[in-house]
Structure 1
Amino acid sequence: MSVVTRIAPSPTGFMHIGTARTALFNWLYARGRGGKFLLRVEDTDRARSTPEATEAIFSGMRWLGLDWDGDVVSQFERRDRHAEVAHQMLESGAAYKCFSTPDQIEAFREEARARGESTLFRSPWRDVPANEHPDAPFAIRVKAPRDGETVIRDAVQGDVTIRNDQLDDMIVLRSDGTPVYMLAVVVDDHDMGVTHAIRGDDHLNNAARQMLVYDAMDWDVPVWAHIPLIHGEDGKKLSKRHGALGVEDWARQGYPA
């Protein structure tokens, strides 16, 4: 199997030193095995994504000496493909139309909090036949298993087990037709042929939900490796208050790549 890794930053600011570190690990793993290293820009947040931030990613990668294979992939430009997969899951029965409104969902959660109960939303539309559907906007939700466990096979963390009754029926396509991140990242990784995804362990919680999409589409799950984040001297996740965070800051201060 030919190794394919990727880095997928969001162009919403400077290139974080943590992103640079993750990119380095993915690049080293691919290059050390004669594989490919791909670059995807996760630019679906149109309000915050800027050309300047996109260019900061490119310049940061070049300063680090990290070359990538093929063209840069824009996640936003693939939104039609993401929606296509959501509808494929709907047609196969792995997903369903949910007509619950945001106000209804929030009202449920407020009542659950008041009773001290779980706020995990169980859509009442999961098993409603199509001939009983209203003519109204709907989101598409993937059906999560209600029993048993989901095991995340991780190259760093080992096996991580999640009880399926802790999973909700995740929305994959919003009522306005836009895909959610959890769907987009799975579709993109699959279509790009990613075999190994090395990423921060803050994504570990996402893995079980992303597996819902892999299972629904009967796709192979890549090898996941969730690595520890960079922390400051106080033991907390590196943030702006710790000082220089962007790659350009380190370059400006004279640090070698």
Structure 2
Amino acid sequence: MKGIDYTTFVDISSIIQDFWDDAAVKQTYEKRNLFQISDSCQYFFDHINRIAMPNFLPTNKDILYCRKATRGICEHTFEINKIPFRFIDVGGQRSQRQKWFQCFTDITSILFMVASNEYDQVILEDRRTNRVVESRSVFETIVNNRAFSNVSIILFMNKSDLLKEKVPKSDIRQYFSDFTGDHLSVRDVQFFLVDKFETSRKDRARPFFYHYTTAVDTENIRRVFVDVRDTILQQNLKSLMMQ
């Protein structure tokens, strides 16, 4: 925890647990779409006693639930099936977007992440704009940019697990009046959200992939591998046909 040593954290863990068990806190948390609250806080509150154990070591799942907003540009290189991959992670906040295009050269694919459960939430910057609407606007700008005419787009409609929890509680029709499906059907909501992004593409010939994912699903990277592999194959076939 930032600003507190682990010994102090262990000492106050029971207080944190009592806080989380408070009925008023639980009622407030049910309305979390009205606030800027991390999706992972429930996970850590639910595991507070385990985390406070003297011999605590974080599990892979603990690490996956840790989230810190990307600031600036981060580059990660690793191998998948003995093939080197270079991932460039750019911050999604409005203040970070001016830095994007300086690193969008010689890339094969753009992986665009959308938190599908945030259809009833607003962005931090102005506290008015719907988060999905904001994401679609950014997506439309990127996907129709001429600089990316040979780049495939991989759309991850992320946090599907949280979407399933939210759909019965939050009517999507209150936020998107053009929704005509069954508002209690997770599948209908997912199709609607993907269609919002898919229809913003002007060039239908460009490779486009989409997946419904969860933030802690380790299979996500395999999906990226398959999509990037298919993109490279399509590019090679196109080059051969032009020779």
> TM-score normalized by structure 2?
0.29
Q: Which has the higher helix share?
A: 2
